[in-house]
Amino acid sequence: MEKRQLGNSGLEVSALGLGCMGLSFGYGPAADKTAAIALIRVAFDKGVTFFDTAEAYGPFTNEELLGEALEPFRDQVVIATKFGFEGGDSKAGLDSKPETIKAFVEASLKRLRTDRIDLLYQHRVDPNVPIEDVAGTVKDLIQSGKVKHFGLSEAGAQTIRRAHAEQPVAALQSEYSLWWRQPEKEIIPTLEELGIGFVPFSPLGKGFLTGKIDENTTFDKSDFRNVVPRFTAEARKGNQVMVELLNRIAEQKGATGMPATPAQIALAWLLAQKPWIVPIPGTTKLHRLEENLGGAAIELSAEDLREIEEAAAEITVQGERYPEALQKRVGN
């Protein structure tokens, strides 16, 4: 797989990373540990060198899983993790106090079975802690060798600028896909100006852009999509038009001699936006992993991109991307 640089940071990663959250958290019951470790190692064998986790995924279990899975080839991969919730619990309040960050890093290093974190993100902006204090704390951790690069997640342009002035930000992680394009207004221009990489999570619209979800799909009771307005049955029915667009393009394209899939086109579209964008699709299934990685082999022409752009401009996506309580945690 081709490699990409995350902005001006010098951090080189595979063009597609692996978002590991769903192996432990968020999309129903945790995957079988043995199967999850096998999937992570298959991803590495197929060229993935960028793996994303967080203390809140579990909490803690996802970091432990990733640490065990990557230990045999630790020096050949880039591990990203995140801090920022009280006690590591995403349902609790935000906590980015300097002492909390330092304690998190010590615990995270043990869970990840490593002596350094390649990319350390603040998971959500904490309004009670100045971002300069957060950036300064990570700067100290970088100087001590425990962290290599600083990142932000779901931060707004103003926060990104303030943080970057204190400690260069290597990457911003936020949602971005064909059905959530808000970052194009202010975030992407800011990142381009400052030389910061962009790591889109949910590049397949939390699974919707795979074409495998419709208004009749039911989710496990622990699946957080149950509370997402965009995933009501009515919204899912209305949003099929986006999948139909991807299917149309997929029919014209192919990867490795096989017909392309909507997921592959969605990922290829993201990769075509900027050379410093590195999506991190997640999955619990080996065949989906292989399908996703095939997206990196698809090159969309200027004509393809224009066709997608014109068709997407006619589509109004139904439903908000977050319930109100979660949307309040998106930074300014």
* Catalytically annotated residue among 27, 57, 121, 176: 57
Q: How distant, in Å, are the alpha carbons of 7, 14, 74, 128 from that of 4?
A: 9, 6, 19, 35
**203-229 burial, b if ≥16 CB within 10 A, otherwise e?**
bbbbbbbbbebeeeeeeeeebbbeebe
Q: Are 124 and 329 in contact (CB under 8 A)?
A: yes
Q: Is 121 a catalytic residue?
A: no
- The phi, psi pair for 19, rounded to 5°, reads -80, 120
Q: How distant, in Å, are the alpha carbons of 73, 86, 173, 316 from that of 122?
A: 26, 13, 10, 31
Select from 197, 215, 203, 195 the least CA-distant residue to 177: 203
Active site residues: 57
